[in-house]
Structure 1
């Protein structure tokens, strides 16, 4: 499977709106209308980069990569230029098959090759599937943190964490 990323455009918004409605996305991202408004509103946010994940050339999900700001001050001190990520896979048929770990690893490889010193994420402590995917991609559990969305598990990936690669999905 080939994994890629392209910048999200306005033309992608109808697909993103549809994906946010899907039960496996809504479970962790919350109200689809509220999340859509945030994603749409972040298109002009300089601290936020938005991507469409591609799997074998097909649009397969959404990924946002952001500079740490006051919104993330609960993450504690991080190296300068640390980036945070959040993502979801659009199709339920790709869930539980290793696709998420592959996408996370591929994106972190890109960021770390570009000189980003650390990538962090903050899934819900109850989101076992996401935590497992991040760990397979080389992330380490740091600690529980408070965010505006509630408690989260801070996880991080540094360049030294990269040799650990997820296995190819079935």
Structure 2
């Protein structure tokens, strides 16, 4: 497994790559309609409560991660400590799916956010997405039960500082 991972702030220059990744079957399966998701992701570039990053390893961009202030969204995650951040991500490059990259990049990203003072990081994978659930668990997240989100039922997973 290659590493370390680099998390570069996303810019408008990255949008064509994001659009291509969202259209790939392995991303579309869990993120849904590519046009709808592209509109959301590109629109969030101007959202102050959302930080967006391109994930790279050995100089090659291969994924997307967003980290947001939980209080800015009606997430359905219940009461969380002040400063809690939520994350969502996908690996766009098909050759980087599996092989341990998901859990390793999640751990690296979350370790950094916790070190910067976030008390908790939460995420909400589809419970049927076994690869994502396993990657988050390997990155130190624990299952906290099912939640109802605007996108439907999800498995709330938590990692505390």
Does the TM-score normalized on the shorter chain lie above 0.5? yes
Structure 1 residue aligned with 2:146: 144
Structure 2 residue aligned with 1:32: 34
Structure-to-structure mapping, 1:113-128, within 5 angstroms: 113-128=115-130
Structure 2 residue aligned with 1:54: 56
Deviation at 1:57, TM superposition (A): 2.0
Total equivalences in the alignment = 158
Cα distance in 1 for residues equivalent to 2:57 and 2:64: 12
Quick check: 1:19 aligned with 2:21? yes
Q: What is the SS of the residue equivalent to 1:20?
A: helix
Cα distance in 1 for residues equivalent to 2:19 and 2:160: 32
Cα distance in 2 for residues equivalent to 1:37 and 1:113: 32
Match of 1:107 among 102, 106, 109: 109
8 Å contact kept, 1:64–1:85 = yes
Structure 2 residue aligned with 1:71: 74
Cα distance in 1 for residues equivalent to 2:146 and 2:84: 18
Structure 1 residue aligned with 2:134: 132
Cα distance in 1 for residues equivalent to 2:107 and 2:58: 16
Cα distance in 2 for residues equivalent to 1:134 and 1:33: 27
Structure 1 gaps, min length 5: 160-170
Quick check: 1:157 aligned with 2:159? yes
Q: CA RMSD in A?
A: 0.8
Match of 2:90 among 82, 88, 91: 88
Deviation at 1:24, TM superposition (A): 0.3
Structure 2 gaps, min length 5: none
Deviation at 1:70, TM superposition (A): 4.0
Structure 1 ranges of 4+ moved more than 3 A: none
